[in-house]
Structure 1
Amino acid sequence: MLEENRRPLMIGGVVLLVLVVLIGSIVLFRGGSEAKLSVSSIPGDLTLTLDGHQIPATGEVKIKPGEHTLVGERRGFQSYTATFTSSTDPLSYKMYLYANSAEGRQWAQQNPEQEMQLEREAGRHFDQMQARLRAKYPVLTYLPYVGDGFEATRAPSKTDPNNPEALSLAIDVFGPQGKTKALQWIQGYGWDQATLDIIWTTSK
């Protein structure tokens, strides 16, 4: 009789244990499939959306792995859109907007500390972009350059004008052997002419 009473208790205990394991696995799986995104924004009162849903301009949110889009907007400032791909690792992002009107510039005057942060961030981005450009276009180290019958400078890309990290090599020829000398200059450094997106012009 005692054994018969114990059996339902044992079965109930096993069922409870299985449920605990299942629930724990589900929670663990869900936790492992999310990442933490930390965002800081300037101006602090900008409107920030993640995949079309508004989120706090500064703080943390949980996101699932995959591609996401952040959009920062505020009157008086240039809007900015950033697309990124997340895994399960923590991420951080700075959404900094820059003034493009009198209202935005007035805000900058009234918030000098945040404006200084914006300027530091702009300088950091500029330095990083220049480093990437120099790695992509070694010729930039030598520009501007005046050679025998030609002058070489940098210019916005003729094939990808909307890409700030795409450049053309502008060569102005003003001598009878200018183009030949320019090509020899390029070949002398071992640069690939096809990757330089050259813009040729002729001065009289």
Structure 2
Amino acid sequence: MLDENRRPFTIGVVVLAVVLIVIGGVVLFRGGGSETTLTVKSIPNDLTLTLDGHEIPANGEVKIKAGQHTLVGSRRGFESYTKTFTSGSDPLSYKMYLYANSAEGREWSKNNPEQEQELEAEAGRNFSETQARLKIKYPILSQLPYIGPGFKATYTKSKTDPKNPVAISIVIEVFGTDGKKEALRWIKGYGWDPATLDIIWTTGK
């Protein structure tokens, strides 16, 4: 008789414990800490924007928890870009600007001149970020300028995509008969694919 009375009590304790665990798990998943507002402006204005893996509006405000976050902007015809930042209690704002890297993207820019002008102006204002994007896109920049056996490598504004501030051409000046071969060997030696580089070959005196 005593065991029968204990059974409902035991079941109740187990159920209560499970409920507490579930509630606790939800609280931990949601996290705590302060909350702030992130305001984002994007060009192209129809790009896909994610925050910590979750899609958010490309333009507007979103509430975020304090801590480290990652924004990723992407659109067909444009270079994707990732920005990691840390938020506190103060409101934040960020401009997610992507640059065209194909005929489709350049056609979009041609048909949206106002956004293209703003994009170019932003590139000028944020020189340091533009340089950071270039280094990520072109690891070879860390070695330039470079003088090798029979060649010299530098870089200049892109000849094929001159309006793109995050596009460059690699200029390789060849001095000897083996200069081009040595330059290609140097490029491949770092694991870079010459086919992915916009290379301008010149002949030195």
Larger-gyration structure (1/2): 1
